[in-house]
Chain A
Amino acid sequence: MAQRSSQVIGYLALISLLLITTWAFYGLSRVGEDGLSVAVFTDPYIHSLLLFSLKQAALSATGAVVLALPVARALYYLPKLVGKQLFLAFCLLCFVLPTLILITGLVALLGQAGWLTPYLGESWNLYGLQGILLAHLFLNMPFAIRAFYLQLQSIPASSWQLARQLKLKTWQHWALLEWPQLRGRLLTVWAFVFVLCFNSFAVVLSLGGGPQATTLEVAIYQALKYDFNIPEALSLAWLQLLITGSLFLLMTRFSASAWLSADTARTQFLPRLTAYSRLIHQWIYGLAWLVLLAPLLALLPNLWQIQVERLAELAILKPVLTSLTLGVVAAGLAVLLALMILTPIRLARLAGQDKQQWLLETLANHSLILPAMVVSVGLYVWLLTQGRLERWGWFFIVLINTLILVPFALQQLKPRLFQFDDQYQRLTQQLKLNSCTYWQVLLPWLKRDLQAALVLTLLLAMGDVAIFSIFAKDEWSSLPWLIYTYASSYRIPEASVLSLLFLLICGGLVVWLERIKNH
């Protein structure tokens, strides 16, 4: 482990990540003549959009948590539910689902000409707060379900045996066993979903429907791309950085979310349920399936609307290959960088240098709170001033995706590497393994986690629209971008077909991920 060279490489990797960010801000600052604009902080429009950002994030997070609880409990209390493993995999899929698939589905279901719209009354309008909330709930509730379910599973069997001995009532089960178990996780999940929704971009841009439903992230994009107001964009970026940064710091005080950890399928001792509450749980479970599937099922009828000859015209192969190549390269790079950066972090941890470890981890994770939009536009502006956009666009799409994905790869690899250090650090030092042998021992240990990290980052990279939208040229197209162009021109059949194809690819990857995780 103590190989100097891998420590140096780790630092170099971290520095190059930070350089990308610095580079982006340099790009922005060069165009803005007078830096930050103070006027932003007194503009009533900015106040109202800040308020809206916070409001929709709070509502989304609260909704996701509140609705997830009964479903998680149903999953927990009924271990033999039909299709439960599939449901858990589906929850994961929903969370990593490229947002455009969902947006297309929601429009097909609830949009102006949606399947359900005739039953919703005259005043129904998908665009605005309601649309944003629906999309956010769909994307984040499954994540909360998974997190709560895993948390409930760690109630020890002995507690339930004791509870039955003491003949506790159902409400006491909740108050004495479930609630204490869930309380910490509830807040973490809420905060996590809050941050995700606060930074939400594609959903708000597509379903916001105007200035009354704009978030800070979208406003940054608008300031840059619409008004070309760099000082305003910079000020808003700092504001966003400040808010998400402090939320992030608050969050890291709680434990990391274990939502992706393997589903420990041990036999449990559970309280006996009455037939009535069994029925309620089953009903909730069925309803969850139905609601979560609805926007995706709404894509299906469009398959029959499209003629076969149109399918050939869609020219699907190229965007699919583009998305896959882009995703694989960015994901591979992100995982590699994360692995390198973890070396100095692990060394600091082993040496008991808590502050250094914290600093390194925070720096490595900095892109979590960084608006992807700001980085993209910063580099875009720099490229334009250099007149190199034509040739280097691809490079920067990959580069920024990598930067954004590193924290996710880091999160996947870190626990397992720390475990390795705890168990084997002394042994590897004792055995005096050279670098080569060291990696030969470590890589098989990490194999599954490397795979999982790759698949997860690949899923996230393939879903990217924001970065692509900044750098894309006309003749380029990725799968989500093509969906976006069809969906935004209301060509729902075409968008649906492409979304279903994309869904199939993502679904395959998620099933693979679940198999890796549960093995």
Chain B
Amino acid sequence: MLVIQNLVLRRGSWQRRYDLQAESAAIMTIQGRSGAGKSALLAAIAGFEPVAAGDIQWQGQSLLSLPIEQRPVSMLFQEHNLFEHLSVAQNLKLGLKFASEATQQTALQQAAEALEITAYLRKMPQELSGGQRQRVALLRTILRPEPIILLDEPFAELDAYTREIAAQWVRATAKAAHKTVLLVTHQNEDVERLADHNVIFE
């Protein structure tokens, strides 16, 4: 279980308090207006945002003392998810830990087919559209071995059709691998398609 307890984040005069819990292997969507502190919360869980007070616990252990590299977290940022100088295929292989090269290859292939990006694997990121890039990054974020997945507006640049297949794929894959997912979105349809719980930040 992911427990966020009396957590206080502060940036200058901006301050925000959080209290919430997510069951293991549950998908929680987070909604709220811009500036409500959605992204800041994800960043704090991942370790990028300093914590003023309170605690973040995973399976009963506090994450705050852990450096970024040791947290059980895989996060999708709003931008800069791909190294521009590496090919899509090279980018996808970073941070994965499969039992063997062969199983990794199969998993990547299946996921790429599901997200309809097999045609882009040999390309460089700058040759891709925003939506294509987003799906590539999403694929890697979900396939990584970490139990907690943080997605910051993962479908923002997708059209209605790809948005739907991406959401289906995320839910199916996350559930199959028992991932705990926190997903920030502005769209109600994402909530309907994916969420076990929905939280709205004021």
Contact = CB atoms under 8 A, between A and B. Distances in A.
Contacts of A383: none
A445 B68 contact: no
B32 interface: no
Contacts of A426: 46, 48, 77, 80
Interface in B28-79: 46-48, 67-69, 73-75, 77
Contact of A441 (B68, B77, B94): B94
A430 interface: yes
Per DSSP, chain A at the interface is helix
Interface in B55-109: 67-69, 73-75, 77, 80-81, 83-86, 94-95
Interface stretch (A27-35, A90-98, A431-439): A431-439
Given A424-B83, A426-B48, A444-B86, A431 B67 contact: no
Contact of B94 (A429, A433, A444, A445): A433
Contacts of B69: 2, 429, 432
A250 to B, nearest CB: 33
B86 A427 contact: no
B192 to A, nearest CB: 28
Contact of A433 (B74, B77, B81, B95): B95
Most chain-B Cβ atoms within 10 A of its Cβ — which of A2, A423, A426, A427?
A427
Given A2-B69, A432-B95, A433-B95, A427 B80 contact: yes
B81 A444 contact: no
Contacts of A430: 46, 68, 73-75, 77, 95
Per DSSP, chain B at the interface is loop
B43 to A, nearest CB: 8
Contacts of A424: 80, 83
B95 A445 contact: no
A431 B80 contact: no
A429 B77 CA distance: 12
A437 B46 CA distance: 21
B184 to A, nearest CB: 16
A445 B85 contact: yes
A2 B68 CA distance: 10
Interface string A417-453: 0000001101101111100010001001100000000
Most chain-B Cβ atoms within 10 A of its Cβ — which of A424, A426, A429, A430?
A430
Across the A-B interface, the 4 shortest Cβ-Cβ residue pairs: A431-B95, A429-B68, A423-B80, A445-B85
A424 B84 CA distance: 10
B68 A431 contact: no
A519 B85 CA distance: 14
B48 to A, nearest CB: 6
B67 A2 contact: yes
A432 B72 CA distance: 10
A223 B113 CA distance: 76
Interface in A401-430: 423-424, 426-427, 429-430
A444 B95 contact: no
Contacts of B80: 423-424, 426-427
Contacts of A441: 83, 86, 94
